C-alpha cells in the first residue's frame, strides 16, 4: 500500500487514506454495514447503447485483459453485470425495453456472433437464426418484447434484417426492390422497424412491407437509426443528420459546424427530441434547434446514442488514448456524468473525505499507474476531477461540495487549487514572496481554505486563504521556521504543525480564529505526535506514538481505548457529536482493523465485507457515516462506507 500523509478539513468532513479497488455493492452484518463505493475505470473503457424511460441503461465495458462484458446501469446508480452462460463471451447488449428485457449479442464457443435476449430475471436465451455459422445480432426491442436485428443468410452470409416475435419466432424482413442485403436498427411499440436496405434508409411497416425513405436532394446514401411511437424516423442522408416525418417527408437537421457539416441522428423520443453526433454529442429539439451536449473534460469527441422520454441522453465520450471511451449520461446540455465503473481485479481506488451529504472524494488508479482525483455522489455516481491527466489531487471537500487540493502542471510546481461547484478550477497562490508553490489541505463550509505556501528555496509556511482567495501567512511557534496547516473547522480554528529546519519531531499546533498559535502536547515520552482532524467543538484527534488520542477543548489529552491485541493505532476523524473513526493494526497478523469510538470512549470494531479480514476507517461525517476500505472473500480491497447505526456492537478481538 502506498504511504502518504492524508489530512482533513472541516465540520463533518474528514480525510482518509488507503489503496483500494472497487466491485459490486455488498453489505455486511454488524454494528455498521459497509457499502462499496463506485470507482473510475482505469485499464478499460465503456459505452452505453440503450436506455428505457425509467432510466435503466445497458451497454458494455472492456479491459485490456478481457473482451466486452455486458452491463446494466440501474436507475439508482448501481451497476449489474448481465449473466452469461458457459460457452458464451464478448457480450454486447444493445437495447432495453420498459419491462427490462434486453436485446444484444454474444459470441458462442466457436466465436460466432449470435443474437441473444436477457430477461428481467437475469436468464439468457440465444435467439434463432437461419445460419448458425454466420453473423447475427439483435439490435432493438419494443415494449411488447418484439426484437429487431440482423442475421446472415445464404452460402456467402448476406446480411438480412429480421424480426423476432415475443415467442422468439424469427421472420426475415423483405428487401427493397433491387437490393441484396439489409440491416435493422430500431423498432417502436407499434412494430415499425427502421434500418437500411442496400445503401438507403428504409422503414418496415407492421405488415412487413418495406418503404424507402426519401433522401436529401442530391444524396444517394443514407441510413435510418431510430424511430419513435409517433412514426418519426431519424438517421443520416448524404452525411447530414435528418428526420423523416410519418408521411415520409425528409428534413435536414441543422449542423453545429457549417464548415464541417457531417452529422448523424441516432435516436428520437416521443416528444420529438433527437440525439446524435458531429464531433461531439448533439441534441435537436422538436423544432430542430441544435444544442451541443459537450464531452467529458479533456475529451474532444462524444456521441449521443439513445434518449428516453424525459430527454436523458446516453452515449460515450472519447479521449485520445486507446482505452479512453467513457460511458456517459447527459441530463441537460453540459451536465454530463461518467458512468464508468470498476470491477474486481481491474483497478484500485481510495476515498479521502466525505461530507454531510454523503459526497466523497478520493483517487482511482488509471491505466499506466496514474491516479485520478475523483468524487462520488450518492448513489455513488463517480466523476473524474482530473480527466486530462493533469496530476491534480483532491484533498478536502466542504458541506457544499467545494473541493480543494493541489495541481502540479503549472511550470512543474505544486499550486493549491479549488474546484468550484460548476467544476471550474481556481488557482490559489501564496502571498507575495511566498507564491512559488502552494498546497491546499482543508476547507470549511464558509469556503476558507488552509494549507501551505512558500518561496522557491524557502520552507513551506502555514497559510490561510479567505473565501475570495486572499492569502495570509499564519504565525509559527517561537524558534520554528516552517510548517503547514491540515484542517479548519467552521469557527475558523485550524490545526497543523510547525518546527525548526531539519527537525523531524514537528510540533502539533492549533491556530485560533484571531491567529493565536498554541502547541498541542503529545503523550509523555512520545517523540512523534500528529493531529489529523477536528470538529466544531474544538475537539481534535490524532495519534501520539502508536496511541490514538483526543485533545479536549481545554488542551488536555485523552488516550482512546483499543481492543485487546491492538498495536499502532490512529484516530483519523471526529464529527460534531464526538464520534471518532480510526484504525489499529493487529499484533497477530499485522492487518488494519477499522474502529469507531463513541463520545464516552467505548470502542467498536467495524465489520468487514463478507469473508474479509482487513478494514480501515479514515473519515466520518456529521451523520456518523464512516469511509475507508475492507477486504472481501476474494482477497480484494474495496473502498467502503459504513452506515451510521444506533448503539454499539460487542467489541471483538482485532485478530478476528
pLDDT digits (tens, 9 = 90+) for 211-256: 999 999 999 899 999 999 999 999 999 999 999 999 999 999 998 8
Tens-digit pLDDT profile for residues 411-453: 567 899 999 888 888 999 889 888 888 999 999 999 999 999 9
3-state secondary structure 418-472: EECCCCCEEEECCCCCCCCEEEEEEECCCCCEEEEEECCCCCCEEEEECCCCCEE
Tell me which of 17 and 185 has the higher pLDDT: 185
Alpha-carbon gap, residue 584 to 595, rounded angstroms: 7
**Residues in Cβ contact with 59 at an 8 Å cutoff, skipping those fewer than 6 apart:** 46, 47, 48, 49, 50, 71, 73, 93, 314, 327, 339
Mean pLDDT score across all residues of the chain: 81
| Pairing, β 222-227 against β 210-212 | unpaired
Alpha-carbon gap, residue 183 to 159, rounded angstroms: 7
Does residue 515 have a pLDDT over 70?
yes
Alpha-carbon gap, residue 551 to 460, rounded angstroms: 25
Tell me which of 576 and 3 has the higher pLDDT: 576
Tens-digit pLDDT profile for residues 251-284: 999 988 777 778 999 999 999 999 999 878 899 9
Does residue 27 have a pLDDT over 50?
no
Does residue 40 have a pLDDT over 60?
no
Does residue 132 have a pLDDT over 80?
no
Tell me which of 345 and 216 has the higher pLDDT: 216
pLDDT at 229: 96
Beta strands in 21-112 (DSSP E): 34-36, 44-51, 57-63, 69-73, 79-81, 89-96, 102-107
Alpha-carbon gap, residue 502 to 638, rounded angstroms: 38
pLDDT band at 350 (very low <50, low <70, confident <90, very high): low
By three-state DSSP, how is residue 371 classified?
A: strand
Of the candidates 577, 496, 497, the one whose C-alpha atom is nearest the C-alpha of residue 536 is: 577
The fraction of the chain above a pLDDT of 70, given in percent, is 81
pLDDT band at 329 (very low <50, low <70, confident <90, very high): confident
By three-state DSSP, how is residue 44 classified?
A: strand
618 CB neighbour count, 10 Å cutoff: 31
Beta-carbon-side half-sphere exposure of residue 415 (alpha carbons within 13 Å): 20
Tens-digit pLDDT profile for residues 585-617: 876 557 889 999 999 999 998 888 777 788 888
Does residue 6 have a pLDDT over 50?
no
Residue 294 backbone zone (phi > 0: left; psi -120 to 50: alpha; other: beta): left
271-285, 317-331, 412-426, 478-492: least confident range = 317-331
pLDDT at 38: 36
Average pLDDT over residues 450-473: 91
247-256, 491-500, 554-563, 611-620: least confident range = 611-620
Name the pTM for this structure.
0.51
pLDDT at 615: 86
Alpha-carbon gap, residue 48 to 303, rounded angstroms: 10
Does residue 70 have a pLDDT over 50?
yes
Does residue 26 have a pLDDT over 70?
no
Alpha-carbon gap, residue 451 to 506, rounded angstroms: 16
Whether the upstream peptide bond of residue 379 has omega within 30° of 0, thus cis, is yes
By three-state DSSP, how is residue 410 classified?
A: helix
8-22, 450-464, 542-556: least confident range = 8-22
Average pLDDT over residues 381-407: 80
Contact between 332 and 338 (Cβ < 8 Å): no
CB burial of residue 484 (10 Å; 0-12, 13-18, 19+): buried
Alpha-carbon gap, residue 633 to 39, rounded angstroms: 19
Cell of 371: 491516479
**Residues in Cβ contact with 4 at an 8 Å cutoff, skipping those fewer than 6 apart:** 17
Amino acid at each position: 500500500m502506498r504511504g502518504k500523509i492524508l489530512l482533513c478539513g472541516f465540520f463533518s468532513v474528514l480525510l482518509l487514506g488507503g489503496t483500494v479497488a472497487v466491485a459490486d455493492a455488498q453489505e455486511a452484518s454488524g454494528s455498521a454495514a459497509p457499502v462499496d463505493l463506485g470507482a473510475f475505470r482505469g485499464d478499460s473503457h465503456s459505452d452505453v447503447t440503450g436506455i428505457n424511460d425509467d432510466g435503466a441503461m445497458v451497454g458494455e465495458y472492456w479491459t485490456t485483459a478481457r473482451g466486452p462484458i455486458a452491463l446494466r446501469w440501474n436507475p439508482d446508480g448501481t451497476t449489474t453485470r448481465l449473466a452469461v452462460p458457459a460457452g458464451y463471451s464478448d457480450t454486447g447488449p444493445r437495447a432495453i425495453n420498459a419491462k427490462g428485457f434486453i436485446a444484444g449479442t454474444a459470441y458462442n464457443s466457436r466465436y460466432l456472433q449470435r443474437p441473444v435476449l436477457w430477461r428481467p430475471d437475469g436468464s439468457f436465451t440465444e435467439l434463432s437464426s437461419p445460419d448458425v455459422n454466420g453473423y447475427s445480432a439483435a439490435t432493438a426491442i419494443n415494449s411488447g418484447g418484439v426484437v429487431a436485428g440482423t442475421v446472415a443468410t445464404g452460402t456467402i452470409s448476406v446480411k438480412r434484417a429480421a424480426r423476432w416475435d415475443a415467442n422468439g419466432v424469427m421472420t426475415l424482413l423483405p428487401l427493397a426492390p433491387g437490393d441484396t442485403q439489409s440491416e435493422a436498427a430500431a423498432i417502436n411499440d407499434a412494430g415499425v422497424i427502421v434500418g437500411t436496405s442496400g445503401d438507403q434508409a428504409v422503414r418496415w411497416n407492421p405488415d412487413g412491407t418495406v418503404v424507402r425513405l426519401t433522401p436529401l436532394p442530391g444524396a444517394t446514401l443514407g441510413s435510418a437509426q431510430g424511430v419513435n411511437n409517433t412514426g418519426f424516423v431519424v438517421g443520416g442522408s448524404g452525411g447530414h443528420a435528418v428526420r423523416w416525418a410519418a408521411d415520409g417527408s425528409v428534413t435536414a437537421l441543422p449542423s453545429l459546424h457549417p464548415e464541417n457539416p457531417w452529422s448523424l441522428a441516432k435516436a428520437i423520443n416521443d416528444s420529438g427530441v433527437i440525439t446524435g453526433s458531429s464531433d461531439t454529442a448533439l441534441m435537436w429539439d422538436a423544432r430542430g434547434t441544435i444544442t451541443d451536449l459537450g464531452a467529458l473534460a479533456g475529451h474532444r469527441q462524444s456521441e449521443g446514442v439513445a434518449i428516453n422520454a424525459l430527454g436523458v441522453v446516453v452515449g460515450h465520450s472519447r479521449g485520445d488514448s486507446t482505452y479512453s471511451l467513457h460511458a456517459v449520461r447527459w441530463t441537460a446540455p453540459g451536465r454530463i456524468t461518467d458512468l464508468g465503473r470498476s470491477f474486481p481485479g481491474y483497478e484500485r481506488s481510495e476515498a479521502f473525505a466525505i461530507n454531510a451529504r454523503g459526497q466523497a472524494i478520493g483517487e482511482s488508479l488509471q491505466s499506466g499507474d496514474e491516479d485520478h482525483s475523483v468524487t462520488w455522489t450518492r448513489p455513488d455516481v463517480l466523476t473524474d476531477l482530473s480527466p486530462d491527466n493533469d496530476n491534480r489531487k483532491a484533498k478536502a471537500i466542504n458541506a457544499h461540495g467545494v473541493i480543494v487540493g493541489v495541481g502540479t502542471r503549472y511550470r512543474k510546481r505544486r499550486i493549491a487549487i479549488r474546484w468550484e461547484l460548476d467544476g471550474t478550477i481556481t488557482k490559489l497562490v501564496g502571498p507575495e514572496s511566498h507564491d512559488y508553490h502552494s498546497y491546499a489541505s482543508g476547507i470549511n463550509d464558509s469556503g476558507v481554505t488552509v494549507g501551505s505556501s512558500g518561496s522557491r528555496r524557502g520552507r513551506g509556511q502555514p497559510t490561510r486563504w479567505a473565501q475570495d482567495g486572499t492569502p495570509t501567512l499564519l504565525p509559527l511557534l517561537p524558534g520554528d521556521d516552517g510548517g503547514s496547516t491540515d484542517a479548519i473547522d467552521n469557527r475558523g480554528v485550524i490545526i497543523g504543525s510547525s518546527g525548526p529546519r531539519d527537525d523531524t519531531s514537528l510540533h502539533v499546533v492549533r491556530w485560533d480564529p484571531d491567529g493565536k498559535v498554541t502547541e498541542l502536547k503529545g503523550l509523555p515520552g512520545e517523540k512523534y505526535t500528529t493531529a489529523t482532524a477536528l470538529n466544531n467543538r474544538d475537539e481534535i484527534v490524532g495519534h501520539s506514538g502508536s496511541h490514538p488520542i483526543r485533545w479536549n477543548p481545554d488542551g488536555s489529552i485523552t488516550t482512546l481505548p483499543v481492543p485487546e491485541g491492538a498495536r499502532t493505532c490512529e484516530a483519523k476523524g471526529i464529527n460534531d457529536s464526538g464520534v471518532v473513526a480510526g484504525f489499529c493494526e493487529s499484533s497477530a497478523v499485522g492487518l488494519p482493523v477499522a474502529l469507531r469510538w463513541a463520545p464516552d470512549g467505548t470502542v467498536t470494531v467495524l465489520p468487514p465485507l463478507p469473508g474479509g479480514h482487513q478494514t480501515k476507517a479514515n473519515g466520518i461525517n456529521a451523520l456518523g457515516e464512516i469511509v475507508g476500505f475492507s477486504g472481501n472473500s476474494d482477497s480484494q480491497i474495496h473502498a467502503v462506507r459504513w452506515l451510521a447505526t444506533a448503539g454499539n456492537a460487542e467489541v471483538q478481538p482485532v485478530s478476528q
